[in-house]
Copies of this chain bind each other. A is one copy, B any other.
Amino acid sequence: MSEKKMVEAITSMEEDFAQWYTDVVKKADLIDYTSVKGCMVFKPAGYAIWELIQSQMDRRFKDTGVENVYLPMFIPESLLEKEKDHVEGFAPEVAWVTMGGLQPLQEKMCVRPTSETLFCDFYKNEVHSYRDLPKNYNQWCSVVRWEKETRPFLRSREFLWQEGHTIHATAEEAEERTIMMLNVYADFCEQVLAIPVVKGRKTEKEKFAGAQATYTIEALMHDGKALQSGTSHNFGDGFARAFDIQYTDKDNTLKYPFQTSWGTTTRLIGAIIMVHGDNSGLVLPPRVAPTQVMIVPIRQQAEGVLSKAEEIRKALNEVGIRVKVDDSEKSPGWKFAEQEMRGIPIRIEIGPKDIENGKAILARRDTGEKIEVNIGEISEKVPALLDTIQIDMLNRARERRDANTFTATSREEFEQIFAEKTGFVKAMWCGDRACEDEIKEKLAVTSRCMPFEQEHISDTCVCCGKPAKHMVYWGKAY
C-alpha cells in the first residue's frame, strides 16, 4: 500500500459509521472486493486474524472432546429436502450446481449453506449402537448463501466458518452440549476478542430452521447495533426422525438419537472492528493481533539504531511475542499512522538518544499512552503490557455496552428510547409472535434473545400490555 492511501483521513465514525467501517476494512488492508459479486478476498492481514481465531477456538473445542472432520461441499437436492423446516429456511438462498463438466447433472446439488443434512447422512452410516455415541464433530470450511446485500465480514455470499455437529443418546446430553458450546463461544469472545456478550435463547421467530431451540451470544457494536456473534442449536430428535437415524440402546431397543449444531463465522472479525476500532483505524486485541508489536526506529540511518531495533525484536520473539521492525524508507510519522490504521497493539519507538539513555518508548494503540522503559526490561514489560491492554479493552467494551443498555417498562418508554438512541433495550414480552412482528415493523427492532439472566422489569408485555413471560434484549441488528 502506498503511503498516500494510508494517511488520507478515514471518515469519522460519528459522521458515518457504515463508511467508517468500509474505510477501515479497506485501509487496514483486511479485504478486497472481487469480480465475483458478493464475494471477498481475505488479504494477508485479514486472513491472519482468522488464523488466530481458528487456532485458539479449535484448541478450546478439542479440550471439550471435539474432533475435526471434513464433509463434501455439495448437497444433492433430495438430501436437502429431507427435513421440512430446514429446506424451507435454506432453499431460497442456495447456489445450485446443475452441470458437471459438459454434462447436465441427473440431480442438481447445492453448495452447502450449512451441513446438517450431510452430517445426518453420515451419522446414518456411523451410528448403530449406543457404543457409537456420542460423536462430537466439527469442520472448518466455507459455506454459500445467496445474499442480495453484502458487507465485508458481516454478510457475504461465501463466508468462512466452523460448524460443529454432535449426536447423543439422550436429550439431556444434547442440551448439555448445546449450552457447553455456547459457553465456549462466550468465553472465547470475552477472553480472546475482548468482546462482552449477552447469552440467551432465541425466540421461536428467530430460531434456526429445523431447531428445537437456538441459543445465541449477542454483542453490541460501537454504533449501538447488535451483532449475533455465534449460535448453538438443539435439534432434539427431529433430524434423526427425518433421516431415520436409529441406534440400539443397552436395553436392546431401537431409539432415535439427539443432535446439536453450533457455528461462528468470519463475522467475528467484523465484531472486532466495530467494538474496538476508532477514528485512527483498527484496534486489535493482542490475542488476535497478527503483529503484536511494531518497532519503529527513529533516525534509522544513525549508527546502531537498526541493530538495536533488531536486537529488541529478537529478544521479544524469543519470549513468544509476534513482533516486527518497520525499517522501510518511510518517515516515522507515516509509520506511526500506518501501524495505527492496522491496529497493532504496541509500538516501540527507539532512536539514537533513547539508545544513549538505555531507554525506549512503548506506545499503546488502545489509549495512545506512551511509556518510557529501560531497554533491558522490554522482554518483561511488553508481555505484561499486552495482557493489560487485553484486559483494559474488555473492560472498556463492557462499560460501553452497559452504558448503551437501557430498560423500558412501557411501550411509550420503549419507543422513546429507540427514537433517541441505539443500543440494547431490556423489556418484558408476552411470548406472542404478533408482538415481535409489530415491534419489528414499526421500529425496525428485533428480539435479540431471552437472556439466561432473567430480570423482572415489569409485569406486562412492553408491546401489548398482556402479562409478561420473558425478559428480552431488543435491538437493531446487523
Interface residues of A (CB under 8 A from B): 2, 32, 34-36, 39-44, 47-48, 50-51, 67-76, 79, 92-102, 108-109, 111, 118, 121-122, 125-126, 129, 131, 137, 141-142, 144, 146, 157-158, 160
Contact = CB atoms under 8 A, between A and B. Distances in A.
B74 A158 contact: yes
Given A32-B126, A36-B76, 4 more contacts: A41-B71, A48-B67, A48-B68, A73-B111
A5 to B, nearest CB: 11
A70 B99 contact: no
5 contacts: A34-B71, A35-B79, A36-B76, A41-B69, A48-B68
B73 A158 contact: yes
A11 to B, nearest CB: 21
A379 B118 CA distance: 42
A68 B40 contact: no
Contacts of A144: 73
A465 to B, nearest CB: 40
A156 to B, nearest CB: 9
A44 B70 contact: no
A112 B170 CA distance: 41
Q: Which 10 A-B pairs have the closest CB atoms?
A: A39-B72, A44-B67, A42-B70, A96-B99, A100-B146, A101-B146, A36-B72, A98-B98, A95-B97, A47-B68
Contacts of A100: 95-96, 146, 157
Given A44-B69, A95-B100, A74 B39 contact: yes
Question: Which of A73, A94, A118 lies at the interface centre, i.e. has the most chain B CB atoms within 10 A of its CB?
Answer: A73
Given A121-B35, A126-B32, A142-B141, A69 B98 contact: no
A34 B118 contact: yes
Contacts of A99: 95-96, 98, 108
Contacts of A126: 32
Given A67-B44, A95-B100, A34 B111 contact: no
Contact of A69 (B42, B73, B111): B42
Contact of A96 (B34, B39, B68, B98): B98
A92 B101 contact: yes
Contacts of A98: 96-99
A101 B92 CA distance: 5
A165 to B, nearest CB: 12
A158 B72 contact: yes
Contacts of A67: 44, 47-48
Contacts of A122: 32, 34, 41
A111 B109 contact: no
Contact of A32 (B32, B125, B129, B131): B125
Nearest to A290: B67
A363 B141 CA distance: 38
Contacts of A75: 36
A43 B67 CA distance: 9
Contacts of A40: 72
Nearest to A70: B42
A471 B68 CA distance: 44
A162 B70 CA distance: 15
A137 B67 CA distance: 29
Nearest to A50: B70
Given A95-B97, A97-B111, A73 B32 contact: no
A144 B158 CA distance: 16
Nearest to A93: B101
B32 A70 contact: no
